[in-house]
């Protein structure tokens, strides 16, 4: 007698700001979302930040469900700025940031970046042997290879357990370090596309980075790369302008009529998660911004 395999777990990827916002309602929405995800046994995927709405959401979800309930996906270039301040010395934080941006620039040029690393006299990590396509063979106790290839959607995250452990797994959950911003977004989409029923994307309030992530999900779905919903969680009317922009773009002929349904706007956290759990609805129900 054959046995059916259980479906993969439900995961929701949340995009949000690393700032708290001026209204306490935004932080409250992040905490509330963590409780809703926990109550429904939904795993959280997020951008790996430790401050603002991102940090609040991750901390609360970990507090409720443990580190295994959260996965943060963060570009290497942002690791230094997102680590808790007492994890690394100022010298090491500067070095991590420098390495991250060098890797990003080389990746944009389509070049492979490899680092040879060794422990310095005082435990600081000293980097050497950086080249565009080859690696010099210097003496080192630890070797880490970064293989980011620019903005290709096929870039894959590069695990770095030593760095990830410094992101306080017991506080913020598990961490995957991606070689670039584009690789981060591609990995998030892949994780949600392969997850169980009710999985999808929710955007809390945020800035340019959040908007970039929303548009990446929408355009990739438009291209047929995945079939998951993108829900804007509207707190105090934050996404009303986005709803208006979509409507205006459709009316002016810059977005096809069917494109109107690629963005969903719901009032509050519960309604946003409910939408993902409920599957497809009529197009007239999809946006409810308070314009």
pLDDT in tens, 188-214: 999 999 999 999 999 999 999 999 999
What percent of the chain has a predicted confidence (pLDDT) above 90?
57
- What mean pLDDT is predicted for residues 109-135? 43
Q: Residue 199 carries which DSSP code?
A: -
Report whether pLDDT(244) > 80: yes
Q: Name which of 199, 203, 200 is nearest 214 in CA terms.
A: 203
Higher pLDDT, 130 or 245: 245
The mean pLDDT of 86-90, rounded to a whole number, is 41
pLDDT bucket at 79, cuts 50 / 70 / 90: confident
Environment class of residue 21 by beta-carbon count within 10 Å: exposed (0-12), middle (13-18) or buried (19+)? buried
What is this structure's pTM?
0.73
> In the structure, what pLDDT confidence band is assigned to residue 168 with cuts at 50, 70 and 90?
confident
Is the pLDDT at 117 greater than 90? The verdict is: no
Length of the chain: 291
According to DSSP, the residues that pair with 200 across neighbouring strands are 12
pLDDT of residue 104: 55
- According to the model, what pLDDT value does residue 274 have? 96
Q: What is the DSSP letter of 257?
A: G
Distance CA 218, CA 230 (A): 7
103 falls in which pLDDT band (50, 70, 90)?
low
């Amino acid at each position: 007698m054959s046995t059916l395999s259980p479906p993969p777990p439900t995961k929701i990827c949340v995009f949000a700001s690393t700032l708290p916002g001026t209204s306490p309602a935004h932080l409250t929405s992040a905490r509330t979302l963590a409780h809703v995800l926990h109550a429904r046994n939904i795993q959280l995927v997020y951008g790996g930040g430790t401050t603002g709405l991102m940090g609040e959401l991750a901390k609360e979800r970990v507090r409720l469900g443990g580190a295994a309930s959260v996965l943060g996906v963060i570009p290497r270039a942002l690791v230094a700025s997102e680590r808790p301040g007492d994890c690394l010395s100022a010298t090491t934080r500067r070095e991590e940031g420098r390495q991250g941006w060098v890797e990003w620039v080389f990746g944009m040029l389509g070049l492979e970046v490899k680092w040879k690393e060794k422990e310095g006299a005082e435990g600081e990590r000293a980097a050497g042997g950086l080249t565009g396509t080859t690696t010099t063979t210097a003496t080192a106790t630890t070797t880490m290879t970064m293989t980011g290839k620019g903005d290709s959607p096929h870039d894959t995250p590069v695990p770095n357990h030593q760095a990830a452990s410094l992101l306080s797994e017991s506080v913020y959950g598990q961490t995957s370090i991606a070689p670039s911003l584009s690789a981060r977004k591609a990995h998030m989409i892949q994780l949600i596309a392969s997850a169980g029923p009710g999985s999808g994307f929710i955007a809390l309030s945020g800035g340019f980075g959040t908007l970039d992530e929303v548009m990446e999900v929408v355009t990739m779905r438009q291209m047929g790369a995945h079939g998951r919903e993108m829900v804007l969680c509207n707190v105090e009317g934050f996404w009303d302008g986005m709803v208006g922009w979509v409507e205006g773009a459709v009316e002016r002929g810059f977005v096809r009529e069917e494109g109107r349904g690629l963005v969903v706007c719901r009032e509050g956290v519960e309604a946003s998660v409910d939408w993902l759990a409920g599957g497809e609805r009529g197009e007239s129900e999809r946006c409810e911004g308070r314009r």
